[in-house]
Amino acid sequence: MKPPAEHSEREWVLLGMAECCAEKSYEATSIEDVCAAAGVAETRFAEFFADKDECMGAALEWLVALAWRKLDEDAPAGKPWAERLRAGVESLLGAMGERPAFARLALIETPVAGGRAAILRESARASMLDFIESAPRPADIEVPASAGRAALAGVEALVSGWVLRGNAEYLAELAPEIVFMLAVPFLGRAEASRLGSKPRKRGHLRAVA
């Protein structure tokens, strides 16, 4: 792997961790593997991280920070909830599709790693749930208390399945279905279907790193 020149040496190591986990799994990845992928000496790794677990946590932290920054650009606060939902789903799926290694790191390997990485993943999930449950409540729709949590769990299962089957680069194709899944408990079937069926913009998806 040849990381882009604009990345720092520490970020090269984080990229190396993501790539190795995608190729071999977190449990099978060694510090030697990460350093070889990143093109750095193991002595340099030790200057950045105490061990593999700390590196994994830092990699996920970096990924989450980049993802939130991209979401702020593509789905800024102040716009209607439905518009932000659609833009946010397209933004995250597009970013993961362009960096399949990061998609696997966040969705598949993080629960195995545990520790700091798992805490960060739960924090990110909680933030997503807070946004989903901030949806407007039409007077004619009774929304169960667990609707947002159930919808998010369904989306995670769907996306994780695609990643596990090696289809991460095509995640953007799931955008209409995922928008519908997240919107339908709050907006109703007709409005959620309309929101999910809008043509997607082209050429605006960027990698997170």
Give the tens place of pLDDT for each residue, 119-149.
Answer: 888 888 899 999 999 998 877 778 888 999 9
In a domain, 209, yes or no: no
Q: What is the mean pLDDT of the chain?
A: 86
The pLDDT-based confidence of 6 (bands split at 50, 70, 90) is low
29 assigned to some structural domain: no
**Alpha helices, DSSP H only, in 99-206?**
100-104, 110-113, 115-132, 147-164, 175-187, 189-196
> Which letter, b or e, does each residue of 2-30 get, where b requires 16 or more Cβ atoms within 10 Å of its Cβ?
ebeeeeeebbbbbbbbbbbbbeeebeebe
Tokens standing for 66?
A: 């980049």
pLDDT of residue 42: 93
Number of domain units in the chain: 1
In a domain, 46, yes or no: no
Model pLDDT, residue 36: 95
Using CA atoms, how far apart are residues 160 and 113, in angstroms rounded to an integer?
16
pLDDT tens track for 147-202: 999 999 999 999 999 999 999 999 999 999 999 999 999 999 999 999 988 544 44
pLDDT at 3 over 50: no
Asked if the structure places residue 208 within a domain, the reply is no
Give burial (CB, 10 Å; 0-12/13-18/19+) of 37: buried
Instruction: Give residue 66's pLDDT band: very low, low, confident or very high (50, 70, 90).
Output: confident
Residue 159 lies in a domain: yes
Q: Which domain holds residue 87?
A: 59-196
Is 4 part of any domain? no
Residue 32 covered by a domain:
no
What CATH number corresponds to the domain at position 151?
A: 1.10.357
Residue 138 lies in a domain: yes
Under a CB-based contact definition with an 8 Å cutoff, are residues 181 and 165 in contact? no
CA-wise closest residue to 108 among 55, 149, 161: 161
